[in-house]
Structure 1
Amino acid sequence: MVALRPWVKPKIVKKRTKKFMWHQSDRYVKIKYNWQKPRGTEDTVCRRFKGQILMLSTGYGATRKQSTCCPRLRSVSSKNHEATAERASQLALRVTNPNARLCSKEN
């Protein structure tokens, strides 16, 4: 007989919370803040020199379970929470907090 084990909830690991910024966007107004990949052969960010800004890569991505999960927003009403929970179960989607704002209707 197999022993019952408690379900272990996977901890959500945020590998980086700061946004990746475009190289030298802090220095010039004409360069926007949004990330652009450096394409120069002598670019210090592309060559990953010490002290430079970090370059975006696939290693910063979330796990498959975490990235395919549907988040629950705080600004959604309880009626809409219930409707989205039903729809997610029909589509077989995983929701982060499916029982949020749902209280028992016995009272």
Structure 2
Amino acid sequence: MNAQPPISMRPGAQPPEQVAFHRRELNVILSLYGRMVAAGEWRDYGISHLRDVAVFSVFRRTAENPLYRIEKRPKLRNKQGLYAVIGMDGQVLKRGHELKTVLRVLERKLIRSVE
């Protein structure tokens, strides 16, 4: 049979767009993640790269819903900000243009857990 190649392999076809975290962004997120694991607060994570959003989900246990989601939404770059931290209940805890600034909401929780 003469099967057609997938769209992404056809000459001149553009691959489907996907939002992803860059290396610098992952370094910042994983640095915080490592400190929270050392404090006993977090135990697992998952990363999703979707069409409109990249999500770094943080879990206390693997089988649970995520405690927090760190999202990158390029479409909101000029509006509310590219990054957001979302709680377990879906509430936006912090939104902004700078990843380190947005992650401070989680660093405050690290300081409380260490004291």
Category of TM-score, reference length = shorter chain: under 0.3
The normalised TM-score by structure 1 is 0.22
Higher Rg of the two aligned structures: 1
Taking structure 2 as the reference length, the TM-score comes to 0.21
More strand by share: 2
Q: Which has the larger share of helix? A: 2
